[in-house]
């Protein structure tokens, strides 16, 4: 069964600190892995998209890694800001059909001053 699992479920950090969010998937066939940021009550916004051959991708203070062998990905946030408080959703796209996106449950991050 295609699944995407994220950990931790929630996280609280202090402003300025770094953090890493995890994503494990059992999706086959694999097309790409995406990380989205979703502010409360808003639509998700894409942070990165990585295909099978990409190990690392950065978007400002966000750096995503992908290990296709172990089927794991991480999202590292550097020097966190209050505006980073949001849910971060890991999504894996399979090639098994049109627009087959498998969503993780998300990690809720709270950055405190």
Residues near other proteins, by CB under 8 A? 31-32, 34, 36, 41-46, 49, 51, 89, 93, 97-101, 103-106
**What is the closest distance, in whole angstroms, from the C-beta atom of residue 112 to other proteins in the complex?**
22
Using the minimum distance from each CB to other proteins, give the nearer residue, 97 or 113: 97
| Least gap, CB of 37 to other proteins (angstroms) | 11
Q: How far is the CB of 46 from other proteins (least distance, A)?
A: 6
**Coil/strand/helix, residue 50:** strand
Nearest residue (CB) to other proteins, 18 versus 51: 51
Integer CA distances (angstroms), 66 to 17, 33, 37, 40, 50, in order: 22, 8, 17, 27, 7
Q: Give the residue among 80, 87, 89 at the shortest CA–CA distance from 41.
A: 87
Across the chain, where does the E strand assignment appear? Answer: 3-7, 10-14, 19-26, 30-38, 45-51, 56-59, 62-67, 72-77, 86-94, 100-103, 107-112
Q: Which is nearer to other proteins, 23 or 106 (CB)?
A: 106
Report in angstroms how near the CB of residue 101 gets to other proteins at its nearest.
Answer: 7
């Amino acid at each position: 069964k295609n699944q995407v699992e994220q950990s931790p479920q929630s996280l609280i950090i202090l402003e300025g600190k770094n953090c890493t969010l995890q994503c494990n998937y059992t999706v086959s066939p694999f097309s790409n892995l995406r990380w989205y940021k979703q502010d409360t009550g808003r639509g998700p916004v894409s942070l990165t998209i990585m295909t099978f051959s990409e190990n690392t991708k950065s978007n400002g203070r966000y750096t995503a890694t992908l290990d296709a062998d172990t089927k794991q990905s991480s999202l590292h946030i550097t020097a966190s800001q209050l505006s980073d408080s949001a849910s971060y959703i890991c999504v894996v796209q399979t090639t098994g059909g049109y627009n087959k996106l498998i969503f993780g449950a998300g990690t809720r991050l709270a950055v405190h001053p």
